[in-house]
Amino acid sequence: MAHRAKAGSPTGIVVTIISAVILILLCTAAGSAGVGEWTVTGGPSSQRGNVQLLAVDAANEGVAYAVIEVAGLHRLYRTADQGGSWASVHAFQEAIGSLAISDTALYLGATDVPSGQPAIWRSTDTGATWAPVYTAAVTTSVNALTMAPDAANHVYAALTTSDGGAVLETTTGASWSEVLTNAGSFEAVAVDPSDATRVFAAGNLGSEGNRLAEIYRTTDAGATWSTVLTSTTEMFQEFLVIHPDTPEVVFAKTRVDYCCPPPNANLWRSTNG
């Protein structure tokens, strides 16, 4: 059952702020799209499924991808005309939890992947065909993927595994290195759009009643990390965004309680990240 936040409630305010930030990012990527001008596209949602992910291709005007769950399958849709029309380009049996795009490749990450099965795939033909590039060593969920804006095409992945959390890095997709680990989970990762060496990761080490949530930052592409935010009353979720025009501004979403839907949430912001 879907739950809606009541207008004026703390949760409702946070949801509104988060939606506004996402809108800013989408409009920045789309270029000429005007805030306040909305059109029903009849896109993937017309398939009566649940839209899981949406990503805009900043390198190719008008191109975007969406992952939608339809009849037990997770389908990847693509538009090349700013959402005017959508085409299904691939279907996955696995639950897809993350999507990242560059001008040369797409990456998809799966959730609840058992040991020995593919957890990350890559496509180099706009999603028509996919090859597995990372196999889960233990039960793994790929919660987030992001690509750095550099010639080396650095890709970072935030993982939760049965052995704890990890942030992975690759430049080719063929081999992945653990650049950050913890005993809990990593829910989100983001790369500075103007500096590929500056990366943030949000992780949780605690549990209900014993929380410890932290945001880490590296300025040397993952060689070393420092903790820049710690909370003992919240748990970080999937939302971690660096402002595209003002990269010193970083947003992170947390969940305060788990007892009743909708949960209380907070939006953290740094202006000197």
**pLDDT tens column, 68-100:** 888 778 889 999 998 889 999 999 989 999 999
pLDDT mean over 136-144 = 95
Q: Which of 72, 29, 33, 71 is nearest to 54 (CA)?
A: 29
Of 257, 247, 245, residue with least CA distance to 29:
245
Instruction: Categorize the per-residue pLDDT at 18 as very low, low, confident or very high, splitting at 50, 70 and 90.
Output: very low
Per-residue pLDDT, 224: 95
pLDDT at 205: 82
pLDDT at 33 over 70: no
Task: List, for residues 219-250, the tens digit of each pLDDT value.
Answer: 998 999 999 988 887 777 778 889 988 999 99
Which letter, b or e, does each residue of 213-236 get, where b requires 16 or more Cβ atoms within 10 Å of its Cβ?
Answer: bbbbbbeebbeebeeebebeebbb
Q: Which residue has the tokens 């900043």?
A: 58
Q: Is the C-alpha dihedral spanning 23, 29, 34, 37 positive or negative?
A: negative
- Mean of per-residue pLDDT scores for the chain: 80
Q: Full-prediction pTM beyond 0.75? A: yes
The pLDDT tens digits for 160-191 are: 999 999 999 998 778 899 999 998 899 999 99
pLDDT band at 263 (very low <50, low <70, confident <90, very high): low
Q: Which amino acid is at 208?
A: E
Instruction: Give pLDDT tens digits for 183-212.
Output: 889 999 999 988 989 999 998 886 555 667
- pLDDT interval class at 46 (50, 70, 90): low
Phi-psi region of 195 (alpha: psi -120 to 50; beta: other; left: phi over 0): beta
pLDDT of 1 strictly over 50:
no
> DSSP assignment of 144-182, as one string?
EEEE-SSTT--EEEEEEETTEEEEEEESSSSS-EEEEEE
Percent of the chain with pLDDT over 90: 43
CA 186, 190, 92, 67 torsion-angle sign: positive
Residue 22 has pLDDT above 50, yes or no: no
Query: What is the pLDDT averaged over residues 46-63?
Result: 81
Q: Is the peptide bond before 262 cis (omega within 30 degrees of 0)?
A: yes
Q: Which residue has the tokens 């560059």?
A: 102
* pLDDT value at 111 more than 50: yes
State mean pLDDT over 30-48: 59
Helix ranges, the chain (H): 10-30
Question: What pLDDT score does 140 carry?
Answer: 96
Distance CA 120, CA 107 (A): 7
Distance in angstroms (rounded) separating the CA atoms of residues 211 and 199: 24
Ranges 5-19, 23-37, 228-242: which has the least confidence? 5-19
Burial (Cβ within 10 Å: 0-12, 13-18, ≥19) of residue 26: middle
User: Can you name the residues that pair with 207 across neighbouring β-strands?
Assistant: 210
